[in-house]
Amino acid sequence: MVTNSAGDFFGTCDGPGNYGSVYGLAPSGSGWSKSYVYRFTGSTDGSGPIGLIIDSGGDLYGATMYGGTGAGGTVYELVANNGWNYSLLYPLASGNPHAYGPLARLTMDAAGNLYGTTFQGGQYATGSVFKLTPGAGFWTYTSLHDFTGGDDGGGPGTRVFLDSEENVYGTAEFGGFYSYGVAFKIEQ
């Protein structure tokens, strides 16, 4: 869940319907007022939204676990502009339409680049770390690492973190020397 400067909260949920939604909670008298910011259709927008981040302008960014035109989930933005406007930033690819894409919320650096992981995506279908760079009307996808499931691990299902030099840190659920997962660092 994230909050904006007005004290509103935003989160993701499985309902209503089968594909999930982004909801908002706004202070209202002595309670809260709930609204749906966006309801996913399970089509090109994906399904199974997970986690949100918010930028300094109050716009929301998130990812979906499934679907989209690449069948590996999606990365999207919801812009607050007299209501909410949905924009598909990037459809993530997967060779298996039943594979998990992102399971954790995204990370944004100071330049507005987005970083994330896919649990079963990537070249070897055992997960990946990616970066999305904004351009003039489009986003550029860069694969930072495709996990093999071997000594480098596999199944990165957590959020990544950046240090001051923009090295990327995270964990993977399985693989590694002892087969119990790994902590990783990707230098950029």
pTM for this predicted structure:
0.95
Residue 81 pLDDT: 86
Confidence band of 183 (pLDDT split at 50, 70, 90) = very high
Residues 110-130, mean pLDDT to the nearest whole number: 95
Amino acid at the residue 7: G
Domains in the chain: ranges and CATH:
2-147 (2.120.10.30)
Residue 67 pLDDT: 92
Residue 102 pLDDT: 96
Identify any residues that bridge with 138 across adjacent strands, giving them in sequence order.
none
Q: Under DSSP, is residue 147 helix (H, G, I), strand (E, B) or coil?
A: coil
> What is d(CA 17, CA 40) in angstroms, rounded to the nearest whole number?
9
Q: Could you report the per-residue pLDDT of 4-23, keeping only the tens digit for each?
A: 999 999 999 998 889 999 99
Percentage of the chain beyond pLDDT 70 is: 98
Residues 44-71, mean pLDDT to the nearest whole number: 95
Confidence band of 119 (pLDDT split at 50, 70, 90) = very high
Residue 99 pLDDT: 81
Residue 142 has pLDDT above 90, yes or no: yes
Residue 174 has pLDDT above 90, yes or no: yes
The DSSP line for 7-48 is: S-EEEEES-SSSS-EEEEEEEETTEEEEEEEEE--SSTT-EE
> What is d(CA 141, CA 131) in angstroms, rounded to the nearest whole number?
6
Q: Could you report the per-residue pLDDT of 69-117, keeping only the tens digit for each?
A: 999 999 999 998 888 999 999 999 886 766 889 999 999 999 999 999 9
Residue 17 pLDDT: 84
> What is d(CA 174, CA 125) in angstroms, rounded to the nearest whole number?
13
